[in-house]
A and B are shown apart, each in its own frame.
Chain A
Amino acid sequence: MSWVTKTLNSTLGRKLLMALTGIFLILFLVVHLAGNLQLLIPDNGESFNIYAETMANNPFIRVVSIGNFAFILIHIIYAAVLSRQNKSARPVNYATSKASTNSTWSSRNMGILGTVILIFLIIHLRGFWYEFKFGEMPTAEYGGMIYKDGFKIVSEAFSNILYVVVYVVSMGFLAFHLSHGFASAFQTLGLNHAKYSPLIQKIGTGFSILIPALFALIPIVMYIQSL
Chain B
Amino acid sequence: MKLTLKVWRQKNNADKGGFVSYPIDGISKDMSFLEMMDVLNEQLTEKGEDPVHFDHDCREGICGMCSLHINGKPHGPQQTTTCQLHMRSFSDGETITIEPWRAKAFPVVKDLVVDRSAFDRIIQAGGYVSVNTGGVPDANEIPIPKKIADEAFDAATCIGCGACVAACKNASAMLFTSAKISQLAMLPQGQVERKDRAEKMIAQMDAEGFGACTNTGACAAECPKGISLTNIARMNREYFTAAVTTENV
Contacts and interface: CB of A to CB of B under 8 A. Distances in A.
Contacts of B229: 187, 192
B102 A90 contact: yes
Interface string B101-131: 0111100000000000000000000000000
Interface of A: 2-3, 7, 10-16, 82, 85-99, 101-104, 107-108, 110, 180, 183-184, 187-192
B236 A189 contact: yes
Nearest to A110: B214
A114 B171 CA distance: 21
Query: Which of B169, B172, B230: most chain A Cβ within 10 A?
Result: B169
Size category, B interface: 35 or more
B203 interface: yes
B11 to A, nearest CB: 15
Given A89-B211, A96-B72, A103 B203 contact: no
Interface of B: 19, 69, 71-73, 97, 99, 102-105, 167, 169-172, 174, 202-203, 205-206, 209-218, 221-222, 229-230, 232-237, 239-240, 243, 248-249
Given A86-B211, A107-B214, 16 more contacts: A3-B243, A10-B202, A11-B172, A11-B174, A13-B243, A85-B211, A86-B212, A89-B103, A89-B172, A90-B169, A90-B211, A102-B167, A108-B169, A184-B214, A187-B233, A192-B230
Contacts of B71: 96, 98
Main SS class of interface, B: mixed
B80 to A, nearest CB: 14
Given A91-B104, A95-B99, A10 B206 contact: yes
Main SS class of interface, A: helix
A135 B23 CA distance: 70
A190 B221 contact: no
A36 B10 CA distance: 59
Contacts of B215: 107, 180, 183-184, 187-188
Contacts of B97: 95-96
Contact of A2 (B69, B174, B221, B249): B249
A95 B72 CA distance: 8
A183 B103 CA distance: 27
19 contacts: A10-B203, A11-B172, A11-B174, A11-B212, A85-B211, A86-B169, A86-B172, A86-B211, A87-B211, A90-B170, A91-B104, A93-B102, A101-B73, A102-B218, A103-B169, A103-B218, A107-B216, A107-B217, A187-B229
A75 to B, nearest CB: 14
A90 B171 contact: yes
Contacts of B169: 86, 90, 99, 103, 108
Contact of B216 (A13, A98, A104): A104
A10 to B, nearest CB: 6
A190 B214 contact: no
A104 B213 CA distance: 14
Contact of B221 (A15, A92, A103): A103
B98 to A, nearest CB: 10
Contacts of A190: 233-237, 240
